[in-house]
C-alpha cells in the first residue's frame, strides 16, 4: 500500500531543497518551506526556485516593435563591448607607434600590396610584388587582392587618430542601444558587422590602387540609416536623426581624407537590412523571413568581396 504524502509541519519546517536547514518562510505560490538561499524575491513575499522557473516558462516572451524576442534588459552592453574592441585595437596601435605602427598596413583595407621601407614610414609605389620588395630589402605587406582576406573585417575596428575613434565611438554609444531596442541584439550586431563589410566592399571596388582605408564609419553609417528607417516605421520623430545623417553626408563629400565609398556602402547596407526587418510581414514566420533576408544581404556582400579578389 502506497503511503500518502505528509504535509509540511507547521511547527517544524525545513527547506524542501535543504532538509538540514530550519526555516520559517514559505513560498507564496506553492507553500513549500524555503531557506534564505532558495527564496527568490517576488512582488509579494518570496517564491521557491521551482515556481520561479515554472513562471518563466509560462510567461510569453516580450517582443520588440519588429518582432524580435527581447532577451536582455540592458541594451547598452552590446555597444559597450563593440566600443571596447575598437578601443583595444586603437591602444594596440598607439603602443606600437601610432601613425607609424606596423599593425596598421596589415589590418587596414588596401586594394593592392605595398612594399614599405624597413621602418614602415614610407613605401615604394612601383614595387607591388613580394620578390621585387625583397630585392630592395623592403617589408612586403599583402593587399586584399593578394590574399589579405581579413582586412575588410579588421579595418572596421581600426583607428589611428584620437578624433577619429572618439567621434565613431560616441556615435556608436548614442545609436547602438536605441537600434537594439527596435531590432534585438542579434539583428543589431548583424547590421553593424554587415554594414561595415559593405562599406569595405564598395571602397575596394571604387578606390584606386594604393589607397588605404580604415575605421568604423561604414558600420556607423549603417546604424544611422537603420535607426532612422526603424524610427520612421515606428512613427517616431526622426528630424534630429535626419539632420545628423545629412550633416555627416555633407562632411563626407566636402572633407578630404574621408572614404565616401565606405560611408555610402555602409549606409546602403544598413538601410537595406533595416527595410528587410521593418517591413517583414507580421506572423509566425516573421523572424525567419527577417533572418533569411539578413543572410541574403550578407551573402551578397561576401560575393562582392570575393569577386574583387579576382577582378
Q: What is the pLDDT of residues 110-130, one digit of tens each?
A: 888 888 888 887 878 777 788
Is 55 part of any domain? Answer: no
Alpha carbon distance 244, 236 (integer Å): 16
Would you state the pLDDT for residue 221?
97
- The answer to whether residues 152 and 229 belong to one domain is yes
- The answer to whether residues 99 and 183 belong to one domain is yes
- The answer to whether residues 96 and 21 belong to one domain is no
- The answer to whether residues 24 and 118 belong to one domain is no
- The answer to whether residues 145 and 224 belong to one domain is yes
- The answer to whether residues 11 and 97 belong to one domain is no
- The answer to whether residues 159 and 85 belong to one domain is yes
Enzyme catalytic residues: 217, 263
Three-state DSSP class for residue 103: coil
Half-sphere exposure of 198 (CA within 13 A, CB side): 29
Percent of the chain at pLDDT > 90 equals: 53
Alpha carbon distance 229, 223 (integer Å): 10
Is 56 part of any domain? Answer: no
Is 71 part of any domain? Answer: no
Strand 109-110 with 123-124, pairing = unpaired
State yes or no: pLDDT of 272 exceeds 70. Answer: yes
**CA distances in angstroms from 128 to 84, 102, 209, listed in the order given:** 35, 18, 10
Alpha carbon distance 181, 65 (integer Å): 8
Alpha carbon distance 104, 92 (integer Å): 10
Is 53 part of any domain? Answer: no
Alpha carbon distance 177, 73 (integer Å): 11
Three-state DSSP class for residue 141: strand
Among residues 47, 66, 295, the alpha carbon closest in space to that of 191 is found at 295
For residue 158, the domain's CATH number is 1.20.1540.10
- The answer to whether residues 21 and 121 belong to one domain is no
- The answer to whether residues 109 and 225 belong to one domain is yes
Query: What global pTM score does this model have?
Result: 0.78
Q: How many domains does the chain have?
A: 2
State yes or no: pLDDT of 8 exceeds 60. Answer: no
Is 66 part of any domain? Answer: no
Is 196 part of any domain? Answer: yes
- Minimum mean pLDDT range among 55-59, 100-104, 106-110, 255-259: 55-59
Domain that holds residue 5: 1-48
- The answer to whether residues 18 and 140 belong to one domain is no
- The answer to whether residues 161 and 34 belong to one domain is no
Is 38 part of any domain? Answer: yes
Is 33 part of any domain? Answer: yes
Amino acid at each position: 500500500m502506497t503511503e500518502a504524502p505528509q504535509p509540511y509541519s507547521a511547527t517544524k519546517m525545513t527547506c524542501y531543497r535543504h532538509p538540514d536547514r530550519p526555516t520559517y518562510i514559505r513560498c507564496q505560490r506553492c507553500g513549500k518551506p524555503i531557506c534564505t538561499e532558495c527564496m527568490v524575491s517576488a512582488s509579494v513575499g518570496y517564491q521557491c526556485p521551482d515556481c520561479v522557473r515554472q513562471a518563466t516558462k509560462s510567461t510569453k516572451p516580450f517582443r520588440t516593435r519588429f518582432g524580435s524576442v527581447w532577451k536582455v534588459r540592458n541594451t547598452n552592453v552590446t555597444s559597450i563591448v563593440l566600443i571596447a574592441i575598437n578601443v583595444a585595437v586603437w591602444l594596440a596601435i598607439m603602443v606600437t607607434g601610432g601613425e607609424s605602427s606596423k599593425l596598421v598596413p596589415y589590418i587596414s583595407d588596401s586594394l593592392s600590396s605595398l612594399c614599405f621601407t624597413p621602418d614602415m614610414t614610407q613605401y615604394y609605389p612601383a614595387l607591388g610584388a613580394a620578390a621585387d620588395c625583397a630585392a630592395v630589402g623592403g617589408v612586403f605587406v599583402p593587399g586584399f587582392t593578394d590574399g589579405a582576406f581579413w582586412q575588410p573585417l579588421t579595418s572596421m575596428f581600426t583607428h589611428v587618430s584620437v578624433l577619429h575613434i572618439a567621434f565613431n565611438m560616441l556615435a556608436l554609444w548614442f545609436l547602438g542601444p536605441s537600434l537594439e531596442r527596435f531590432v534585438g541584439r542579434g539583428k543589431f550586431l548583424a547590421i553593424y558587422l554587415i554594414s561595415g563589410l559593405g562599406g569595405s566592399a564598395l571602397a575596394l571596388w571604387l578606390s584606386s590602387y594604393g589607397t588605404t582605408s580604415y575605421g568604423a564609419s561604414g558600420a556607423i553609417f549603417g546604424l544611422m540609416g537603420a535607426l532612422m528607417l526603424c524610427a520612421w516605421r515606428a512613427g517616431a520623430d526622426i528630424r534630429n536623426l535626419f539632420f545628423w545623417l545629412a550633416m555627416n553626408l555633407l562632411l563626407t563629400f566636402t572633407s578630404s581624407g574621408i572614404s565616401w565609398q565606405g560611408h555610402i556602402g555602409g549606409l546602403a547596407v544598413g538601410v537595406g537590412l533595416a527595410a528587410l526587418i521593418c517591413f517583414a510581414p507580421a506572423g509566425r514566420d516573421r523572424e525567419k523571413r527577417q533572418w533569411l533576408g539578413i543572410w541574403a544581404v550578407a551573402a551578397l556582400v561576401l560575393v562582392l568581396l570575393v569577386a574583387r579578389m579576382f577582378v
